[in-house]
Amino acid sequence: MPDLTTPPRDLVSLPKAHLHVHLESTVRWETLREIGAANGVDVPEHTGTFGDFTSFFAQNDLVRACLRRPADFRRIAYEFCADESAQGVRYAEVSFTAAGHGERLGDLAMPLRAVLEGLEAGEEAFGIECRLILDHSRRRSVERAWRTLDLARRHDRVVAVGLAGDEAHPGDPFTEVFAAARDAGLHIVHHAGEGEGPASIRQALGPGRAERLGHGIRILDDPDLVAEVRERCIPLEVCPSSNVALGFAPSLEAHPLPRLLDAGLVVTINTDVPALIDTSLATEYARVRDTFGYDDPTLADLAGAAVEASYAPFATKSRIHEEIDTWLAHP
């Protein structure tokens, strides 16, 4: 339990890696209004977080409608670096639906190229290191998935590809795409075990070839699967506030995070859709600490697990691990 005689530490200072966050869901609302105005899209005043799936998808659609020009994509990537750095994030793997934007705008390569330019500028300005995961909605075609893979192969800064979206749509049609992705040296990260149960996780880890699980919180429904994932050291990208906001956990207090840790699973803390639910990575760590009574060593372990689960270069991992150790040694 934390020491209640001293004020809690500011968790911005905890060096962190961020593994599960969607770029389109990080856009500052004032930025969205400015981009929207430039592109003829009316963006209302920010009224708070969404209340149900309908409003959630409506906000996602609004963001996509605003993003049209290379400058738009460069700006949101640059501001992502600024905002993550301000939260103590040293390394981030941000997901981006590159092919979907490219098809929508009639230029498959432009959105990804512009995002990469924005990340490069942001890294230099804010001292953060970023890589990309190109995601593909399960609802969309296999042909688009192949286009996503083709984009990923072109850029060294893209470290992984994977499925996102409604898990009720099966992953099996994409098996050949992800086999080819592995052959190309890319990592595989699928969303699984959030909206659907253990079967979605088994598909992701088997035919889907996943090396990490986006969410994975329903793994506890299957003790045999827990044992397998624990033995294989498959990391879970857990997003507590997002799980609650989307109705996959009834409350933060009832979130399965403590049981996942107690089961010996590799757990990382993430935000998923921070701008849509008014959170940040430092806020998520603070909520976890305050809700479950985790002390500094536990928080440092969670931060270290994310670093180790990342696809960062060895030197980057070593540096951030050292920074976490320093943070822990100097309360």
What's the pLDDT tens digit per position in 112-138? Answer: 999 999 999 999 999 999 999 999 999
pLDDT band at 55 (very low <50, low <70, confident <90, very high): confident
Mean pLDDT of the 220-243 span: 98
What pLDDT score does 56 carry?
A: 76
**pTM for the whole structure:** 0.96
Query: Taking the domains of the chain in order of start, what are their residue ranges?
Result: 16-329
pLDDT band at 52 (very low <50, low <70, confident <90, very high): low
Pairing of strands 267-269, 16-18: unpaired
Q: Which of 84, 123, 129, 194 is catalytic?
A: 194
| Dihedral in degrees, nearest 10, Cα atoms 129, 134, 135, 141 | 170
284 is catalytic: no
Query: Is 70 exceeded by the pLDDT of residue 47?
Result: no
Mean pLDDT of the 138-165 span: 97
pLDDT band at 37 (very low <50, low <70, confident <90, very high): very high
Mean pLDDT of the 182-203 span: 97
Mean pLDDT of the 304-327 span: 98
Q: Which amino acid is at 174?
A: F
- 16-329 is a CATH 3.20.20.140 domain: yes
pLDDT band at 57 (very low <50, low <70, confident <90, very high): confident
Query: Is 90 exceeded by the pLDDT of residue 48?
Result: no
- Can you tell me the distance from the alpha carbon of 321 to that of 123, in angstroms, rounded to the nearest whole number? 19
- Can you tell me the distance from the alpha carbon of 243 to that of 259, in angstroms, rounded to the nearest whole number? 15
Mean pLDDT of the 167-195 span: 97
Query: Is 80 exceeded by the pLDDT of residue 274?
Result: yes
Tokens representing 129 are: 């290191």
